[in-house]
Structure formats: structure tokens, C-alpha cells
A = this chain, B = another copy of it.
Amino acid sequence: MREITLSKAVNEAIAEEMRRDPTVFLLGEDVAEAGTPFKVLSGLVEEFGTERVIDTPISEPGFVGLAVGAAMTGTRPIVDLMFGDFIFLVMDQLCNQAAKTHYMSGGKLNVPMVLRTNMGATRRSAAQHSQSLHALVAHIPGLKVAMPSSAYEAKGLMKTAIRDNNPVVIFEDKLMYQDKAPVPEEEYLIPFGVANIKREGTDITLIATSSMVQVAEKAAEILEKEGISAEVIDPRTIVPLDEETLLKSVRKTSRAIVIDEGHQSYGITGEIASRLTEKAFYHLDAPVMRMGAMDVPVPFSPALEDVTVPTPEGVAANARKLCGGELIHAA
């Protein structure tokens, strides 16, 4: 199968959906001629014109608001939010308006919009351009949240998001834009709420989101050499969350680590670990472990930044302890 970059996969998904449905359009800063600073959208304005690929002023709350109104009235906007850190600026329009409109109207109004943005540290971009803020939106009922872990997921999830009748937030890892993966030429969609077992294993389950899937896979390789068989699962969407697939795995392996690049405290790892613990408690040999990013603003210095996020070695070390029966924190 051909291999394409995550960037190209997103571009294809949007182009295909824009061809299919004339009500789909793109909105954001420097999305047209520039194709975004990451060049993810290059070429789209040439095909679809400036009426459907629209450069906005630097007004994040404003253009997200516009998207909500446009979505309520017959179109399907895709909003490009240049950095995930800017989501703080648009929370009101996203969480007080987009997320609640369908419910508050008793089901009469829909907001079929996509907010695509990014996440991911270690790019030396410091505290305001490196955050992974998916936990915030996952907490708000009415929003769906997708976290593609490769070009394949990026394309399939984006297409599903565009066709969804609800506001969907997609977090792409900006470190992965140039990563290639096999992506079929033929059309496909990836349904929301269906986790992907990236690698089968029997001793421990590694549940990982976005780029942490690669980290988990590398950890699994390390562990394999030591005779530990790790199962790697990518939930793909955290809202809705495919609990069943995760539970099935954990019931089989009896041990799990949840790995995510958001800050660990009050982030998504606690939720996933809790759901597993609640429903598979008596299958567990050890508490479900969590590895999130450190609870610090992301530092600029390379000497500091790299230690803030989970690494394959760190995951492998923890897996080793869990499988070796070491009772990590447990008193």
C-alpha cells in the first residue's frame, strides 16, 4: 500500500469531503495561499477557491463563533486552530455554545462543525505552543474528541468528523505531520468509538493516545526482547470511548498502563484508568498505571523539555515493574 504523511492524509480527507459535499468549507488563519504554517492545507485553495478556503483575521473566538453559526444554518465548517494552546481562547464558543446548542434547543438545532488543532511537546516551542489540551474538551458533554495516531487514522477520523452532525475536536500531533504510514487509495472512514489494537499481547495492556501510540509500540518492542508480551491499544477517540475493547484486553492481561501527552493530573489518564478499574477490578493484578506529561508548563530548554513527556524507556521500565510484581506505589 502507498505510504503518505499524516499531513497529506489530513489534506486528502478534507479535499475528498469538500468534493463530495459543497457545504463543507475551511476557515482559519493562513489556511489559503499559505496552507497553514505546517503546510497541511497546501493546494486546497487552488482547488476550492477562496470562497471555501477562507483566511481569517487573528480572531480565534470570532471565527469559531462564525463556524458555530454557519454550522447551525446549513453548512459544515472545518475550523483550523493553528496551535492547540489557542483552544483556551475559544472555549466559550466551543463549550458554552457549540457543545450545548443541540441539547438546549431540545434537539432542534445541530452544530456539525470540526475544530482541527494540534498538540504535542518537544518541539522547543515553550509553554504556550506545546500543550496537549484534549482533556479540557473531553470533559464537556456535547463535544466529540478524536486523537489520530497515524496518517491512516488522521484520514479516516477526519472524514468521519466532517460527516458527524456534532461539534468534533481533532487533535493532531504536530510532531507527526511528516510521519508516513500506509493509507489506502480507496475511500474509507474510521467510526468513532472504536479502539484499534495496534499490537496483540498477553502480559500487559498499553493504552496510548496520539503520538504516545508510537511510544507504546517502541516500549512493546523493548519488552518483547525481555520476554514480556505487551498489547498496544489506541482508543482513537476519547469521546466516545470504546470501553469494551480496552476492558477485554485488561481482563486478559491483568495489568495496564495508560499513556497520554496531556498533563497527568486531572487529565484523561485518570478517567480511563478509573473506568478500567471500576469494571475489571477483580481481574487486575496491580493498579492501572498512568503516565501523562509532567504537571509543569512546558519548558523551552531542550534539557528540560524532553523529560516532561513519557518515553519508550520509561514505559518499558514501568511495564517491567508491573509484570515483575513490584508493587510500585502500593503501600
Contact = CB atoms under 8 A, between A and B. Distances in A.
A83 to B, nearest CB: 10
Q: How many identical subunits does the complex contain?
A: 2
Residue from the set A289, A295, A296, A330 with the largest chain B CB neighbour count within 10 Å: A330
A47 interface: no
Interface string A101-114: 00110000000000
Nearest to A283: B331
Nearest to A301: B106
Given A89-B92, A104-B126, A104-B127, A330 B139 contact: no
A136 B138 contact: no
Nearest to A287: B281
A135 B126 contact: no
Interface in A214-244: 238-239
A274 interface: yes
Interface string A83-124: 001101101101110011001100000000000000000000
Contacts of A85: 96
A189 interface: no
B290 A278 contact: yes
A139 B135 contact: yes
A277 B273 contact: yes
A317 interface: no
Contacts of A280: 330-331
Interface in A242-263: 247, 251, 262-263
B274 A269 contact: yes
Nearest to A139: B266
A307 interface: no
Contacts of A4: none
A271 B290 CA distance: 10
A96 B100 contact: no
Contacts of A296: 103, 141
A328 interface: yes
Nearest to A275: B270
A265 B141 CA distance: 9
Shortest 8 CB-CB contacts between residues of A and residues of B: A270-B270, A88-B91, A270-B271, A281-B287, A139-B266, A88-B92, A138-B266, A270-B274
